[in-house]
Amino acid sequence: MLVKNKDCTDYTDVTKITYNLVRAKFGYSARIVNIWEILRAVLSIDEFEILTPELYNNASFEAYLIDRQVDWVNGKDVDFGEIYEAILTIGDFTATEKRTMMYEKIEEILWGIFLAICNPDLKF
């Protein structure tokens, strides 16, 4: 489990690459509620094969993500492993998509996404 807060600076290469990719692709318009679109971009997936459209607008999951973002902004620790588990629980993914997330160090990717959304002026 990867637990970080906004003051952590021991960025991994995956986190930095993710941050730069999200900033380049989405700029200041990146929002945590667009997690599916951001993940597709970072993981180079055109479309999640079996993720249903209803999940793209799941209010309770969006509220969960916003709560984690509020925790982050307020300097609290955020467990990116917990967020990853929530993504796996809420979403329908093929075995290949799950493997891609696992091999791509998804927790470090999620950290990079949070940084890009909440700290958009970092320079790597």
Domain ranges, ordered by start, for the chain: 14-118
Q: Which pTM does this prediction carry?
A: 0.92
Alpha helix (H) ranges present in 5-79?
13-26, 35-43, 53-56, 59-73
Per-block average pLDDT, block size 10, for the chain (124 residues)?
95 97 95 93 86 72 96 98 92 85 89 96 90
